[in-house]
């Protein structure tokens, strides 16, 4: 139906440059946020503790 009313107009072409550029920009911003945030929060005196739950005796008949 589009060809019937085109009257010699050039066919539309779509560019993917803008969406890809926005996506790459978002990756760079998120990566920078994570790197800068980890550098600010990085504390050499920080330790991690793992706490395991105590097992409960099962009731079997």
Pull the structure tokens for residue 6.
Answer: 């085109």
| Listed range (20-24, 35-39, 43-47, 49-53) with the worst mean pLDDT | 43-47
Q: Is pLDDT of 2 > 90?
A: no
Using the Cα atoms of residue 21, residue 22, residue 27 and residue 31 in order, give the sign of their dihedral. Answer: positive
**Does residue 60 register a pLDDT over 70?**
no
CA pair distance 30, 37, nearest whole angstrom: 10
pLDDT band at residue 1 under the 50/70/90 scheme: low
Provide the 8-state DSSP code for 44. Answer: T
Q: How many residues belong to the chain?
A: 61
Ordered alpha helix ranges (H), the chain: 17-41
CA–CA separation, 18 vs 24, rounded Å?
10
């Amino acid at each position: 139906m589009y060809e019937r009313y085109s009257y010699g107009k050039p066919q539309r072409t779509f560019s993917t440059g803008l969406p890809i550029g926005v996506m790459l920009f978002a990756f760079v911003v998120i990566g920078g946020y994570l790197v800068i945030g980890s550098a600010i929060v990085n504390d050499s005196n920080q330790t991690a503790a793992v706490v395991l739950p105590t097992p409960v005796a099962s009731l079997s008949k």
